[in-house]
Amino acid sequence: MREDSDKRWQENRLLASLPDRDLSRLLLQLEILTLFAKEPVYESGEEIYFIYFPLDCIVVLISSVDTDATVEVGLIGNEGMVGATILMGAKNSTSKALILTEGKALRVPAAVLKKEAKRSSRMREVLLNYTNALLAQSAQLAACHRYHTPKARLARLLLMINDRITVSDFRITHDLLADLLGTRRATVTQAVNQLQDKELIASVRGRIRFLDRKGLENETCTCYAIISQQYLTSTHSEASPANS
Ligand SMILES: [Zn+2]
């Protein structure tokens, strides 16, 4: 590990929940880097060579329905890792992984992570619990996009972003929001205006500022609570101290 990463790994809650012995082996192999907004971590179908543990950036997983239509299928911040499906045998990314908000991440070669997870059953269990929650998130998002209103979906997405950043605003265009929510730009602008009229957010010059988190919680669909609960359940099953 290089630079200031010897302390910063603690910001990633998944790394922090690994058993000490496994973590110290892994830390030697991690390198810190900056991920810049709008850059892809992986394209859809691309081979996964590195696994990323976000510290203060957010990565969004996007599926293409056809050449024009896209939709978010996962959001990953400092609670998780990008490229988790390699632990389930995947070699290639099934979706595009795009950096939504800029920041630092730690990365490790996929082959190293697979080897370490094979060595320790406890580490494997922790990482697979997370992977399972990520897949559950994806399934919930599919239902969300089918059944819930653009305003409720937008509130849900904003709350998920708010959970993963420490600042009160972030840069995002309505075009990208439309790509994530699988809807037209005009629909997104209308939903943004609805939340803005209630003074829950402010949308100014390509940035969204959070004004009233409680208010957003009143506007979101039930998917937000369901997805949050899935992560809580995945981390609570880490109580066992066993390590192999
Ligand atoms: Zn929903």
CA Rg value for the chain: 18
**142 Cα: distance to centroid of ligand 1 (angstroms):** 9
Contact 168, 103 (CB under 8 A): no
Do 210 and 104 belong to one domain?
no
pLDDT at 4: 55
Do 183 and 104 belong to one domain?
no
Q: What is the CATH number of the domain that holds 216?
A: 1.10.10.10
**153 Cα: distance to centroid of ligand 1 (angstroms):** 5
Q: What is the mean pLDDT of the chain?
A: 92
For 122-157, the pLDDT digits (tens) are 999 999 999 999 999 999 999 999 999 999 999 999
pLDDT of 167 above 80: yes
Do 180 and 92 belong to one domain?
no
Specify if 43 maps to a domain.
yes
Categorize the per-residue pLDDT at 5 as very low, low, confident or very high, splitting at 50, 70 and 90.
low
Do 95 and 21 belong to one domain?
yes
**166 DSSP assignment:** S
**137 Cα: distance to centroid of ligand 1 (angstroms):** 11
**146 Cα: distance to centroid of ligand 1 (angstroms):** 8
Do 165 and 108 belong to one domain?
no
For 173-219, the pLDDT digits (tens) are 999 999 999 999 999 999 999 999 999 999 999 999 999 999 999 99
Phi, psi torsion values for 223, nearest 5 degrees: -55, -35
Do 109 and 14 belong to one domain?
yes
Contact 19, 238 (CB under 8 A): no
The tally of domains found in the chain comes to 2
**20 Cα: distance to centroid of ligand 1 (angstroms):** 37
Residue 185 corresponds to which tokens in the numbers above? 């730009």
Alpha carbons 43 and 93: distance in angstroms, whole number: 7
**54 Cα: distance to centroid of ligand 1 (angstroms):** 25
**226 Cα: distance to centroid of ligand 1 (angstroms):** 9
Residue 32 corresponds to which tokens in the numbers above? 């810190």
**147 Cα: distance to centroid of ligand 1 (angstroms):** 7
What's the predicted TM-score (pTM) here?
0.92
Q: What is the CATH number of the domain that holds 57?
A: 2.60.120.10
Specify if 73 maps to a domain.
yes
Do 32 and 101 belong to one domain?
yes
**190 Cα: distance to centroid of ligand 1 (angstroms):** 18
State the residue range of the domain holding 205.
149-220
Do 13 and 115 belong to one domain?
yes
117 CB-side CA count, 13 A: 22
**145 Cα: distance to centroid of ligand 1 (angstroms):** 7
pLDDT at 6: 66
For 12-68, the pLDDT digits (tens) are 999 999 999 999 999 999 999 999 999 999 999 999 999 999 999 999 999 987 767
